Amino acid sequence: MRNPQLNKHGELTHLISTEGLSRDILQHILDTAQTFVPLAERDVKKVPLLRGKSVFNLFFENSTRTRTTFEIAATRLSADVFNLNINVSSAAKGETLLDTIANLSAMQADIFVVRHESSGAPYLIARHVSPDVHVINAGDGRHAHPTQALLDMYTIRHFKKSFSNLTVAIVGDVLHSRVARSNIHALTTLGVAEVRVIAPLTLLPSGLAEMGVKTYTDMAQGLKDVDVIIMLRLQNERMRGALLPSSHEYFKHFGLTQEKLAYAKPDALVMHPGPMNRGVEIESAVADGPQSVILNQVTFGIAVRMAVMSIVAGASS
């Protein structure tokens, strides 16, 4: 069966997940993003690639980084950008997601950027829009956050130059994390030497071994000699029942401190998708320290989202 993100020519027409995307497609997105990075240094930070196109940002869940960088990215591509305010939209009156999409499509939308609390919502939309309309997943439930994974890959490649010799540890609430899932697919496809996950047993999902991931429940063992550490937020809003004794206890065992960071290689990168809970999964001395590339991730997110939008918009219908 054809990957639903690809059109009949094998081109990326929607971005729903990093799962199933080839190394060539991932590299093409990263290479395209690299061409957009220097734009930030120019007086006029715009290129005309999406002139005349309409990008609709539909964020049914809160966001600071993703929503804003998608808006900046679309603006830099010269698109017209419309941010639907979900709280005052007719979704609050009971309009279905697909009716909302049908009405916005009637306003000649070209690209929908969708964040939704339900896993699968962007895919559902992608199945119902016409072939010349493109859907980009900005995070759906626990399922996927592909542009976060791509900007993480961009950041790793920028600082480490190549993926092949790297050991990458993903630490924290993997059970509820769409970022972890998307990163694991991207890292394995791009050929890193080893992907590790470090978490308490209650926050480890099943199926990680089948994804080629080694699991650890101890930071000293899991962080030993790693090149990259991706910290995850404790997603209390998605937890049902008591999965942890307390955030204090969690920080003691799994919070990234300078002491625990010393288990990794001396030049290990510290990453976090944000938003961070300081003092819960990471201490400020590390989050703001010399090995942290957390704000670089945010900046690279603009170029990566420009790349994704320009690539899907260029796919033949």
Catalytically active residues, by annotation = 65-66, 93, 115, 145
Span from 44-52, 62-70, 156-164, 184-192 in contact with ligand CP (CB under 6 A): 62-70
Exposed/middle/buried for residue 124 (C-beta within 10 Å: 0-12, 13-18, 19+)? middle
* Residue from 7, 66, 100, 182 in contact with ligand CP (CB under 6 A): 66
In whole angstroms, how close is the CB of 148 to ligand CP at the nearest point? 5
Span from 1-9, 19-27, 63-71, 79-87 in contact with ligand CP (CB under 6 A): 63-71
Using alpha carbons, select from 146, 128, 125 the residue that is nearest to residue 137.
146
64 counts as binding ligand CP under rule CB under 6 A: yes
In whole angstroms, how close is the CB of 152 to ligand CP at the nearest point? 10
In whole angstroms, how close is the CB of 139 to ligand CP at the nearest point? 6
Contact 110/53 with Cβ under 8 angstroms?
yes
In whole angstroms, how close is the CB of 61 to ligand CP at the nearest point? 8
Kindly write down the DSSP assignment for every residue of 84-130, as one continuous string: E-GGGSGGGGT--HHHHHHHHHTTT--EEEEEESSTTHHHHHHHHS-
Using the minimum distance from each CB to ligand CP, give the nearer residue, 145 or 196.
145
Using the minimum distance from each CB to ligand CP, give the nearer residue, 183 or 189.
183
Q: How many residues are given for the chain? A: 317
Exposed/middle/buried for residue 233 (C-beta within 10 Å: 0-12, 13-18, 19+)? buried
57 counts as binding ligand CP under rule CB under 6 A: no
Pattern of binders to ligand CP over 96-125, x per CB under 6 A? ------------------------------
* Residue from 122, 200, 222, 274 in contact with ligand CP (CB under 6 A): 274
If binding means CB under 6 A, how many residues of this protein chain bind ligand CP? 10
Dihedral sign, CA of 147, 152, 155, 160?
Answer: negative
* Residue from 63, 89, 202, 215 in contact with ligand CP (CB under 6 A): 63
172 counts as binding ligand CP under rule CB under 6 A: no
Pattern of binders to ligand CP over 209-238, x per CB under 6 A? ------------------------------
Contact 286/261 with Cβ under 8 angstroms?
yes
Using the minimum distance from each CB to ligand CP, give the nearer residue, 139 or 200.
139
**Which residues have CB under 8 Å from 30's CB, separation 6+?**
150, 153, 154, 157, 304, 307
139 counts as binding ligand CP under rule CB under 6 A: yes
In whole angstroms, how close is the CB of 43 to ligand CP at the nearest point? 28
Residues 253-272 within binding reach of ligand CP (CB under 6 A) = none
202 counts as binding ligand CP under rule CB under 6 A: no
Using the minimum distance from each CB to ligand CP, give the nearer residue, 69 or 310.
69
- Report the distance separating Cα 317 and Cα 310, nearest Å: 14
- Report the distance separating Cα 25 and Cα 178, nearest Å: 20
* Residue from 5, 148, 177, 292 in contact with ligand CP (CB under 6 A): 148
In whole angstroms, how close is the CB of 146 to ligand CP at the nearest point? 11
65 counts as binding ligand CP under rule CB under 6 A: yes
- Report the distance separating Cα 75 and Cα 267, nearest Å: 36
- Report the distance separating Cα 4 and Cα 95, nearest Å: 26
Residues near ligand CP (CB under 6 A) are 63-67, 139, 148, 273-275
